[in-house]
Amino acid sequence: MRKILISGGKGIRKVVDFFYPPFRKYLSLQLFRYAATGAANLAFDWVLYFVLYNFVIRHQLVHLGVVTLSPHIAALAFTFPVSFMSGFLLQKYVTFTASDLRGSVQLVRYGLVVGANLALNYAGLKLLVDFLGWYPTPSKMIITLLATGVSYISQKKYTFK
């Protein structure tokens, strides 16, 4: 499995690096890779959130026995594990490939950074949707964009250093 991930990472890196030359003056290769893979994972997350919220959950409360989730929070809870793993794999095998840290250490650190972003997403959705009455999908997009800068610095300086 590891060989497949390494090989897949190399293939994705080649595709991403192909588009790098016009951005060379403005971004380091690592930042470009982070932006490209992050944007791809972000788009995947947004589409998954939209589909779950609108077609699976269908704007309904989700009853889980002892707790009931509002539809926008339920969609967040269901999309999180998927985008978490896809994001980690992209960062590990495409963006931050020079890290000497063990994969398990990287995963734990990545989890801590993403956990902070999840808390930010939760609080942001509660504020924008529940208190300000904004639509859930655009609210999710706005919050995610704000968290991206903090995430890059955290991943570079902490998770994959």
Q: Determine the pLDDT at residue 14.
A: 97
Quote the pLDDT of residue 33: 96
Facing residues of 69 across strands? 62
3-state secondary structure of 63: strand
Task: Show the low-confidence residues of the chain (pLDDT under 50).
Answer: none
Q: What is the pTM of this model?
A: 0.80
> Measured on CA atoms in the order 58, 64, 69, 72, is the torsion positive or negative?
negative
pLDDT of residue 99: 85
